[in-house]
Amino acid sequence: PSAAAGPGLAGRGRAMGKPMPAGGCGTQKASAAFVLGLAVAILAVLLGPAFTTSPRFDFDAGARSPQCPARVTNATLFDLQGDGAAGVGGSGSQRQNLDFTSARDGRGLSLGNLYDRFVVTFRDYKLVGEHKARLSQRLNARLNETQRSAWEWVDRKNVALKYPTDFGLVAVKDRSVLDVLRSVDVVRDVFADAKMAGRRELLGTTEREHKLALEMVSDSLKPGDILAKGPGRLHTPFSSDRLGEPSRHGRGLISRALSFAQGFNFSSFKRSQIKSLYKPEELWKKGITGKGIKVGIFDTGVREDHPDLKNIAMRVNFTYQQSTSDGLGHGSFVAGCIASVSPGCPSNAPDVALHTFKVFTDDQTSYTSWYLDALNYAMVVKLHIINVSIGGPDWSDKPFVHKFRELVGQGVIIICAHGNAGPDYGTANNPGDEHWSIAVGGHTDDFKIAHFQSRGHTMQEKPFGYGRIKPDVVAYGHQVSSLRMERGCKEASGTSVASPVAAGIAALVASSVPESEWHYKLTPASMKQVLQEGAERLPRESIYIQGPGKANLHKSFEAMQRYEPKVTVFPGSIDLLDQDYMWPLSKTPLYATAMPLIMNLTITNGLGAHGYFEKEPEFTATNKLGEALDVHFERINVLWPWSGWIAIFVQVRDSGRNLTGVAEGVISFTIRSPPFPGEREGRSQRVEVPFKAKVIRTPDRNKRVLWDDYHNIQYPPEYVPIDDLNYRKEMLDWNGDHPHTNFHPVFDALTDNGYYVEVLGSSLTCFDASNYGTLALVDSEGEFHAEEIEKLHNDVSEGGLGLLIVGEWWNKQQMRRMKFFDDNTRDIWTPIVGGANVPALNRLLADFGIAFSDEITTGQIRLGRNVVSVNTGTSIKAFPARSSLFTLDGGLSPVLGLTRVGQGNVLAFGDTSAFDFNTHANLVPSLFLDFVKYTAGVAYPSWFKAGTVHNEAYENGNMRARLPNPSEGLDAKTLKILRRPLECHTNARRPKEMPVAERPLKPEEPVANPVVPDAEVIMNGIHKVEEKVATAVDGLLDVNHALTGPSEEDATSNAGGAMPHTGIVQAYFQRQLFGFLVVVVCLCVLIVWRKVHSGKRSKLRATKNRYTRLRQIV
């Protein structure tokens, strides 16, 4: 191959060396069919992939030439040899390409299969060889002969291993080795090397992996058991084209053309560009283009010489694939959202130094160990910003979360996708739900929240507290135009798109900071502060949907110019009179005897990575009614990294039963941090948060509903299955079952009709039943203490408390069917409960004579004008005398029962589908309102007389409706998970005689002086450990200027940032219009050719006829 051609030609699909014949695979005469076929092919390609079923040709992945499918070009052969060596890119600038992946079996594992790989985290940073020798010596000394041969150190091959690391990878065949491994003194913890997959439909196994999994679990599986889940850490899907809209695939030419024509709107086209939406040109004119800022993209990689990316400073591969290039297109798209210079889809920060970390394969697969190595190397490279376009519900994934937190402690800005699980509530994704990350939601080009964005407060804090507010900012994420894998632009949607858009804004703003001020202006805290300060609130959207609002590039830039280290709190003020923005908290006013109103505030500490409270927070009333408030706090002990949290609990004193009006006050506290470099003394700042809330007279008892949240158990960490077994988009119950998340339609229906909903986050012994008309137990998975059972019976039968129970399916056989092998934990997962914990509910309701069955019921029930769907619920097995029961249409078993027990009304219903927003069923929240009216003694439902009255105790005789084993779930292991302590926490009402148990800190909360490894220590450790490694590192850093940014010549030659905007049509539809003109020209050529050809044939026929007539005459 010609050296002048360079590897860049391979990326564009050209052949190096001898050119291909101009005619393609062979010389062919032009024909009408060829011309017409060419025109149709061009039109199909331009209008989208749905026109054709032809395979996608991927030159970087070594695909065949599209001209000659049977021939492999020189360019393809070059790529198959790998592109890991440093070379000359198409733009002439040098790049760093590092690919040290193993090629042994595609996985680098010699002990058999991926199901026995475990990450071993150590207590210190050392070179991998030292870790291996030290662990082998200590571990083998504790193992017997058989166990020593049952484990092996797994060698990893990537550039990060030239530096000290804090973890290793081992393969284990005998599980008994793991217990010994955890007891080794140098080992911090052991985790499975968790698999992550970009789309849930890709979570299947290969045939070989599936057989290996079956072999491992065969002893535990029983006949009829199935594996319902493929391997992979469940998380938000990658961005996808027109996410949430009907698929384009399979649509015909006419419908495609009509939709294309209907969508032709010039203003919409212009606004769908990142550049035209944020208008960075004003900053570019000032020389602010992102230059000098290192942005890491943890994705599927990017091709080396992408023509629309100016400064790809480094490409590193951590996967088992032998290429740092992008074979999927997602990494290229994400990079384009940050730094594209394409005239069709320009972005905000064209001159940033892109550092691409390939941690996902082209089939969207990744592993925890890949991420850990990549993140360790990111600290060595000293990135400023990392974009992470993934997330998931598993906030308990410790190695993954802790490593990201460590990077933030080192000053790296982590910008994450908020999640694509919308419009469902309670779906904030991790790590975006952490207080130290910057979570990015998505909006459309007309500044409305995108339908796919996750919503609601975070779930980590349940049930002891209330989730924090996320996202931290909202950016453009719907039908965003960015780069293709090769060249040109395409559209995609998702918060994994909005996240790099926000990262581009952050990079551009960061490049305005002089390097001498980086240590205090370019930090995770300062960037979150300026993004939030510049954000603009969207109308009629809750703070738990939009956070501070949509990103504004220019306001954030101005905020950065005047920035000084400070402490901020979000929200900066609490005004519960703002009905839309503060929903749902604004819909429940304060009154005496109510459960505390809880808010979780995020503290961003720009004074330093560490901080602490100088004294306890306090509340100061600023008006007379504010003096009637009792405000107490919970807080993190140490603010690290760069952030923390404080929870406020607000209630009206008992003496304020008749007070009305607006209570006002100020929450204040002081944060102190150590000094910055060059300073002698630390800094401190007093923070004040204004508070305003409506106070009303204590409502009548029958208007107050208490929702039990203490007995709702969710994923993670246990396998709690989905309630609706027919709902195929989800298998885990992780949305909270809270009136502010997936049951928010019920909350709105009740509050709109004059009811007041409070949440109980402590045991049933921690509320005064005389204050409430209804206690609602909805989809309870928890176990109950004997004290709770006794108190509840007395509260209902003697105290007149109304009891509303909404159950869910529970069936032992169905739970066994849902068993699966989880490659994250290398264990068989079996549901800990069903949709609800029916055996526990039956124990709770035994004194009432009520019991649910293990029958799974599906159908409809008619209640007045409402036709209510029951989707895989449960049925009633037993009910007391003098009750009214309702069965499904055509069914045998009742699913709804109403009765009176002593002084209180009791209602039991067997399914939540009519109330759960996230199952997308036919919602009937007004039915829940009817239920509450009955249990509170306000009114009988209009459909009450339609039920079957039983004057004697009822027992279901249906053979399918069996009573679950009364002792089910009472074993020690299950009780440890499902029975929460019999305690009254800070979230309960605090009468003087009731002790309040302090909520324990979460395991991941830092101690007073956390040990945070320094990137400088990692770098300097090389010189202390081995001089040869230091020399190698110096040589590596001298390869090019990848770690220091582009040269002055490069910056001069690319002055102005992106290519100039030359008009909406040219910028956005240049390719489409060009293709249209090509098609028109082809058709014209066809018409001319046919006319010329037909003219020749006519002349030939005329000549022939003349000669025929002459022969006849002769």
- Choosing from 79, 166, 193, 299, the catalytic residue is 299
The SS3 of residue 556 is helix
- For residue 1029, give Cα distances in angstroms to 98, 101, 1016, 1066: 17, 19, 16, 52
Relative to beta strand 151-153, strand 365-367 is unpaired
Name the residue among 887, 1059, 925, 835 with its Cα closest to residue 284. Answer: 1059
Name the residue among 763, 523, 800, 515 with its Cα closest to residue 640. Answer: 523
| Whole-angstrom distance, CA of residue 62 vs CA of residue 581 | 52
| Whole-angstrom distance, CA of residue 164 vs CA of residue 594 | 55
CB atoms within 10 A of CB 195: 21
Residue 390 tokens read as 């993934």
Active site residue 397: no
User: How far from chain centre, in Å, is Cα 303?
Assistant: 26
- Choosing from 496, 762, 875, 893, the catalytic residue is 496
Burial class from Cβ neighbours inside 10 Å (0-12, 13-18, 19+) for residue 97 reads: buried
DSSP summary character for residue 937: T
Q: Quote the radius of gyration of the chain (alpha carbons, Å).
A: 33
Look up residue 435 and give its amino acid: H
Q: Determine which helix (DSSP H) or strand (DSSP E) holds 900, and give its type and residue range.
A: strand 894-901
Residue 445 tokens read as 């080009």
Active site residue 478: no
User: Which residues are within 8 A (CB) of 1039 and not within 5 positions of it... i.e. 6 or more apart?
Assistant: 86, 94, 96
Q: Determine which helix (DSSP H) or strand (DSSP E) holds 521, and give its type and residue range.
A: helix 518-521
| Whole-angstrom distance, CA of residue 1064 vs CA of residue 1069 | 8
- For residue 887, give Cα distances in angstroms to 269, 842, 908, 948, 952: 55, 20, 12, 9, 17
CB atoms within 10 A of CB 697: 13
| Whole-angstrom distance, CA of residue 615 vs CA of residue 612 | 9
Active site residue 779: no
- For residue 597, give Cα distances in angstroms to 478, 557, 650, 658: 35, 36, 5, 19
- Choosing from 306, 330, 793, 950, the catalytic residue is 330
| Whole-angstrom distance, CA of residue 799 vs CA of residue 205 | 56
Residue 908 tokens read as 């039991």
- For residue 355, give Cα distances in angstroms to 163, 385, 685: 18, 10, 36
User: How far from chain centre, in Å, is Cα 928?
Assistant: 31
User: Which residues are within 8 A (CB) of 41 and not within 5 positions of it... i.e. 6 or more apart?
Assistant: 52
DSSP summary character for residue 26: S
DSSP state string for 650-704: EEE-GGGTT--EEEEEEEEEEEEEPPPTT-SS-EEEEEEEEEEEEE-PPPPGGGE
User: Which residues are within 8 A (CB) of 169 and not within 5 positions of it... i.e. 6 or more apart?
Assistant: 117, 118, 119, 120, 153, 154, 156, 193, 369
**Would you please indicate which residues are annotated as catalytic (active-site) residues?**
299, 330, 496
